[in-house]
Amino acid sequence: MKIPLPINDNISKFIKNSFNNGLSKIIPKTDKIASSPWTIKYIWRKRNSKVTISLINYNEVDASEKNLKSISEMSEYNSQKSIKWICVKWVHNEKIIHEIWELYWIHPLVLEDVANTTQRPKIEEYSEYTFIVLKIINYSKEKHEVLIEQFSIIIWKDFVITFDENQYNDLLWVKNRILNKKWKITKMWSDYLMYAIIDSIVDQYFYVLEDISEKMEGLEDELMFSADQNLLNKIYSLKKEIVYLKKSVWPLRDVINTLQHSENKLITKTTLIYLRDLYDHTIQAIETIETFRDLASWMLDLYLSTVSNKMNQIMKILTIFSAIFIPLTFLAWVYGMNFEFMPELTMKRAYLIWWIFVIIMIIVMILIFRKKKWI
- 4 pLDDT above the threshold of 80: no
Per-residue model confidence as pLDDT tens digits over 267-313: 888 888 999 999 999 999 999 999 999 998 888 888 888 888 888 88
Quick check: helix, strand or coil at residue 43? strand
- 9 pLDDT above the threshold of 60: no
β-strands 159-164, 83-89 pairing = parallel
Closest CA to 235 of 300, 143, 141: 300
Per-residue model confidence as pLDDT tens digits over 73-107: 888 887 888 889 999 988 888 888 888 888 888 88
Quick check: helix, strand or coil at residue 159? strand
| Edge-to-edge strands, sheet with 52-58 | 63-68, 52-58, 83-89, 159-164, 145-155, 130-140, 122-125
- DSSP track, 286-330: HHHHHHHHHHHHHHHHHHHHHHHHHHHHHHHHHHHHHHHHHHHHH
**CATH 1.20.58 domain residues, the chain:** 320-371
Q: Report how far residue 1's alpha carbon sits from residue 279's, in angstroms, rounded to the nearest whole number.
A: 50
Quick one: pLDDT at residue 28?
A: 59
Per-residue model confidence as pLDDT tens digits over 30-78: 555 555 666 778 887 777 778 888 898 888 888 888 888 888 888 888 7
- Other CB atoms within 10 Å distance of the CB of residue 303: 19
Return the CATH architecture of domain 29-306. 2-Layer Sandwich (3.30)
Look over the chain and give the mean of its residue pLDDT values, rounded to a whole number. 82
Quick one: pLDDT at residue 6?
A: 38
**CATH 3.30.460.20 domain residues, the chain:** 29-306
Long-range contacts of 262-265 (CB under 8 A, 24+ apart): 262/125, 264/125, 264/130, 265/157
Does CATH place domain 320-371 in 1.20.58?
yes
pTM of the model: 0.76
Grade residue 256 by pLDDT with cuts at 50, 70 and 90.
Answer: very high
Per-residue model confidence as pLDDT tens digits over 142-172: 777 888 889 999 999 888 999 988 765 667 8
